[in-house]
Amino acid sequence: MYKKIIAMCLFLGLFLSGCQLAQTEETKITQGDTLESPVQIERLAGAYITLEPIVLEAGTDRIQAQKTSGEDTRYAFPGVEGLLLASFWITEPENGGFWSMDCSTGLCSVLSSYNAIENGAEVGLTATLYLTKEAGPQVCYLNPVYQGPDGGVYLKPADMGTSTSINVIASETLTATTTIEQEAGNLVNTTEITVNFIHVDLSQGLTVLEMDENHQILKTHTLTPGELPESLEPLGETAYILTEEQTASDTRRALYQKEDTYFTALYRMDDMICAEAQCDLEWQE
């Protein structure tokens, strides 16, 4: 499903470990007039996260993306298994175009931002990849994805990977700056993409508790994390909701109030990755 700038924030009360900042790339071009599309030159648009290094065929330095139909992202890279996190400019003849964030299933707690500043723009993307503790430490690769002024998309393999730990968070950031020289003043556009890697215990069950204003349980729902209903309508007297997600080592708890429109739970997507299921909360007036 295509996502147009969706923002979900995760505040992590943990220290980051294994943090790497990829080398900043800078491109300069002399441009007489500002083009209608904000993508005037090749730009860093996103990252394609893989658990194996990408090896290219001899004589090539990139993999061209193909447009997809019916998938959770707009682009795919043939023959390479991975997860896409990117922000693309999509041109539309009628209204010029729009920014579209593409995010593969399996990437969680996604935050997207676009800030127009006096002399350019700042694009930011952040996501978390939850890995199972059973998988053990991994080496993850943030392969940079680029978009050109013609709309074409491709990736280049990452030079190195990020080592994860089952005990602390690992993080990697890609950043790039492009400068467009114009008579009226330079335009400076910056893109920054950060992915956090967290190992978690597998969920063994989820309990949803509807609580009244006196902190008494009104109703209990026992759910399977990967099979959440599309929505849940709390009782009229429900003041807030508690979720308890059981794992082999502990219980993860979260509180949701009437300003919260959904709750989430992690489930095992495959042998290594945990994805996030969502259930909408339809509070009664």
The predicted pLDDT at position 86 comes to 95
> Residue 37: what pLDDT?
53
Q: What are phi and psi of 134, to 5 degrees?
A: -60, -30
Convert the pLDDT of each residue in 39-84 to its tens digit. 567 889 999 999 999 999 999 999 999 998 766 788 999 999 999 9
Q: Give the residue extent of every domain in the chain.
A: 16-200, 203-281
Question: What's the sign of the alpha-carbon dihedral 214, 254, 16, 174?
Answer: negative
Distances (CA, A) of 83 to 29, 50, 195: 31, 7, 11
Please identify every stretch of the chain with a pLDDT value under 70, giving residue numbers as ranges: 1-40, 70-71
pLDDT reported for residue 13: 30
The share of the chain scoring above pLDDT 90, in percent, equals 58
pLDDT at 38: 57
The DSSP annotation for 226-271 comes to: GG--SEE---TT--EEEEEEEESS-EEEEEE-TT--EEEEEEE-SS
State residue 274's pLDDT score.
92
Q: What is the pLDDT of residue 139?
A: 97
* CA atoms of 16 and 198, how far apart (whole Å): 10
- 66 forms beta bridges with 76
Start-to-end C-alpha separation, the chain: 30
